[in-house]
């Protein structure tokens, strides 16, 4: 039986999702804005994957774009259009919504559609942490022989408004949706890649939404920053790496992504939307899909890479990938090799 989610669950999901975003997955303020919109419309439903039949179909909803884009816009009508269009394409067979990843916005992707369309969100996102590329959230479907990706996308307003449909191999359809996000001013909502529950169990991240909600409550229960951080580290079996002033921060937009770097103390971080590497004195300490995350010590908030400012005082944590709920894509070396190509010039 589906669980009816509360407003407090929504707030917790934003905080927990932001932490599991690992530097990406959207901005806190946008997540809170979406929570207000969701619960003004009603209460979303969250269903355990085990309550659905193995052959039931679900489709992924995602926000595609650069977190720092200033002209980004998407409406509830655009979100619902992409899901309805996909359901029509699937002959009305969709039984639920899944999100692509955990993040301040992405954990609650699909909650508004759940309310407006009376469709449950399935507690099994494509990945239990945030990731930069669409194909990393595509459940390794690109390795299925002759698989054709289907994606409906919409976003932007006024002269930036776009909507459309693309079908083809996963690499090309993901690039098309990314290009559409640029044309839309920085963001599009996408419904894509229907899969069976059986396939999702094998390649997705069952229970990762519940994990984000629990993590958010743990964070909020702390009274001081030290308590909040300790609660997070206890749940995730993580480590506090360093605290200090942000130096040498840079961010550039490349092909719809945020790419950059920063230093805290003796540690150097790179990001491609999400934090990719953590090194000290030229020696690699951690690399994606390990979770590397920053927290604003003064505001006592998790802070993504796009919101970091030079001189800000932050804490940096690390969580080994073995302590996360991850998609099968996070063990696909062919997908992970792209990281080195992107960040080589910002190290």
Model pLDDT for residues 203-261, shown as the tens digit of each residue: 999 999 999 999 999 999 999 999 999 999 999 999 999 999 999 999 998 877 899 99
- Does the pLDDT value for residue 4 go beyond 70? yes
Q: Per-residue pLDDT tens for 39-81?
A: 999 999 999 999 999 999 999 998 887 656 778 899 999 999 9
For residue 11, give both structure tokens: 């707030």
Whole-number percent of the chain with pLDDT over 70: 99
Question: Residue 184's closest CA among 153, 210, 215, 209?
Answer: 153
Query: 324, 215 in Cβ contact below 8 A?
Result: no
Query: 215, 19 in Cβ contact below 8 A?
Result: yes
pTM: 0.92
pLDDT at 63: 81
User: Can you tell me the distance from the alpha carbon of 338 to that of 279, in angstroms, rounded to the nearest whole number?
Assistant: 18
pLDDT at 64: 82
Question: Residue 268's closest CA among 230, 223, 316, 214?
Answer: 316
Query: 326, 128 in Cβ contact below 8 A?
Result: yes
- Give the residue ranges of DSSP H helices in the chain: 7-20, 28-41, 76-89, 111-117, 170-183, 197-203, 208-221, 225-236, 333-336, 338-343
What residues contact 209, with CB distance under 8 A and at least 6 apart?
Answer: 13, 46, 99, 102, 107, 121, 123, 124, 125
For residue 143, give both structure tokens: 């390795």
More confident: 70 or 320: 320
Residue 94 main-chain phi, psi, to 5 deg: -70, 135
State the chain's mean pLDDT as an integer.
94
DSSP letter at 126?
S
Whole-number percent of the chain with pLDDT over 90: 84
pLDDT at 174: 86
pLDDT at 347: 67
For residue 248, give both structure tokens: 């040498």
Q: Per-residue pLDDT tens for 165-208?
A: 999 988 899 889 989 999 999 889 999 999 999 999 999 999 99
DSSP letter at 70?
T
Sorting pLDDT into bands at 50, 70 and 90, what band is 308?
Answer: very high
For residue 209, give both structure tokens: 């939404």
User: Can you tell me the distance from the alpha carbon of 317 to that of 239, in angstroms, rounded to the nearest whole number?
Assistant: 6
Task: Give bridge partners of residue 267 from the DSSP assignment.
Answer: 264, 280
The mean per-residue pLDDT over the stretch 325-342 comes to: 94
Cis peptide before 261 (omega within 30 of 0): no
More confident: 305 or 66: 305
pLDDT at 202: 97
pLDDT at 153: 97
Query: 73, 30 in Cβ contact below 8 A?
Result: no
Residue with tokens 């997540």: 31
End-to-end CA distance of the chain, in Å?
Answer: 48
What residues contact 92, with CB distance under 8 A and at least 6 apart?
Answer: none
User: Can you tell me the distance from the alpha carbon of 335 to that of 229, in angstroms, rounded to the nearest whole number?
Assistant: 31
pLDDT at 66: 66
What radius of gyration, in Å, describes the C-alpha atoms of the chain? 19
The mean per-residue pLDDT over the stretch 11-31 comes to: 95
Task: Give bridge partners of residue 213 from the DSSP assignment.
Answer: none
User: Can you tell me the distance from the alpha carbon of 24 to that of 153, in angstroms, rounded to the nearest whole number?
Assistant: 20
Strand order in the sheet with 267-272: 283-287, 274-280, 267-272, 257-264, 239-254, 313-319, 291-296, 301-303
Query: 312, 243 in Cβ contact below 8 A?
Result: no
pLDDT at 254: 80
For residue 205, give both structure tokens: 């991240």
User: Can you tell me the distance from the alpha carbon of 118 to that of 184, in angstroms, rounded to the nearest whole number?
Assistant: 28
């Amino acid at each position: 039986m589906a669980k009816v989610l509360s407003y407090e669950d929504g707030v917790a999901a934003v905080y927990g999702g932001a932490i599991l975003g690992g530097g990406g997955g959207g901005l806190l303020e946008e997540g809170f804005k979406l929570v207000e919109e969701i619960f003004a419309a009603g209460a979303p439903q969250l269903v355990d994957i085990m309550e659905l039949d193995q052959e039931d179909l679900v489709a992924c909803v995602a926000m595609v774009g650069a977190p720092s884009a200033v002209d980004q816009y998407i409406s509830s009508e655009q979100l619902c259009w992409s899901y309805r269009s996909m359901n029509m394409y699937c002959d009305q067979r969709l039984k639920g919504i899944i999100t692509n990843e955990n993040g301040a916005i992405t954990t609650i992707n699909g909650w508004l559609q759940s309310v407006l369309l009376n469709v449950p969100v399935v507690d099994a996102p494509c990945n239990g942490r945030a990731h930069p590329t669409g194909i990393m959230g595509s459940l390794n479907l690109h390795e299925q022989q002759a698989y054709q990706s289907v994606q409906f996308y919409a976003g932007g307003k006024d002269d930036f408004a776009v909507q459309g449909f693309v079908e083809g191999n996963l690499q090309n359809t993901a690039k098309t949706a990314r290009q559409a996000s640029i044309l839309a001013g920085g963001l599009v909502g996408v419904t894509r890649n229907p899969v069976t529950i059986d396939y999702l169990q094998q390649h997705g991240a069952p229970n990762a939404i519940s994990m984000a909600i629990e993590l958010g409550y743990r964070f909020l229960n702390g009274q001081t920053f030290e308590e909040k951080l300790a609660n997070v580290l206890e749940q995730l079996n993580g480590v506090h790496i360093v605290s200090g002033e942000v130096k040498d921060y840079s961010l550039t937009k490349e092909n719809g992504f945020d790419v950059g770097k920063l230093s805290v103390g003796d540690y150097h971080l790179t990001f491609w939307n999400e934090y990719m590497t953590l090194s000290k004195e030229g020696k690699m300490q951690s690399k994606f899909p390990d979770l590397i995350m920053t927290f604003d010590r003064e505001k006592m908030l998790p802070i993504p890479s796009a919101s970091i400012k030079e001189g800000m005082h932050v804490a940096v944590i690390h969580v080994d990938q073995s302590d996360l709920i991850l998609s099968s894509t996070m063990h696909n070396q062919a997908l992970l090799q792209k990281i080195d190509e992107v960040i080589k010039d910002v190290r």
